Amino acid sequence: MIQHHLILRVVTKLLVGTIIVFALYVQFHGDFSPGGGFQAGVIMAVAFIIYGIVFGLEKVKQVFPAWIVHKMVALGVLIYAGTGVVSMFLGYDYLDYGAFSPHHPTHGQHWGLLIVEFGVGVTVTGVMVAIYYAFAGRPPAISDEDW
């Protein structure tokens, strides 16, 4: 068990929550201000990655198991594509968000954008964490005994 780096551990625990809240802020203000799903996803993933770097891969995998990461990658794409499929079922073109509010297409565009950006956020979080897991979980090519 790593017990050194007291300051790092305390600061990380303080920061993780803030980072996640900031990610959600960037996520849901994406259609009004700079930001959106991709940036939010990266920030969200950063919260888990820093936790993993400081406390170890095992600990972060207890919080965020690899199988959930796996599903998130697919889920985000399905949210995005699914939004388009819903608009198709409402009688509009694929991804025509006007469908969600026929009398006021601009509102429909806002809602649609919010949903697909959420999908982007989910996938990007998943992919970023998956890349981190893949690199961090990789055993060294030559172990120390082999020399």
What number of chain residues touch other proteins (CB under 8 A)? 26
Q: How far is the CB of 61 from other proteins (least distance, A)?
A: 17
Residues 7-46, mask of contacts with other proteins (x by CB under 8 A)? ----------------------------------------
Q: How far is the CB of 141 from other proteins (least distance, A)?
A: 14
Distance (Å, whole) CA 13 – CA 59: 13
Residues within window 91-120 making contact with other proteins, judged by CB under 8 A:
91-98, 102-106
| CA 62 to each of CA 45, 51, 96, 139: distance values in angstroms, whole numbers, following the listed order | 15, 11, 40, 19
Identity of the residue, 1 or 142, whose beta carbon is nearer to other proteins in the bound complex: 142
Contacts of 143 (CB under 8 A, 6+ apart): none
Identity of the residue, 59 or 105, whose beta carbon is nearer to other proteins in the bound complex: 105
Question: Can residue 81 be called a binding residue for other proteins (CB under 8 A)?
Answer: yes
Identity of the residue, 8 or 68, whose beta carbon is nearer to other proteins in the bound complex: 68
Q: Give the interface with other proteins as residue ranges (CB under 8 A).
A: 67, 70-71, 73-75, 77-78, 81-82, 84-85, 88, 91-98, 102-106
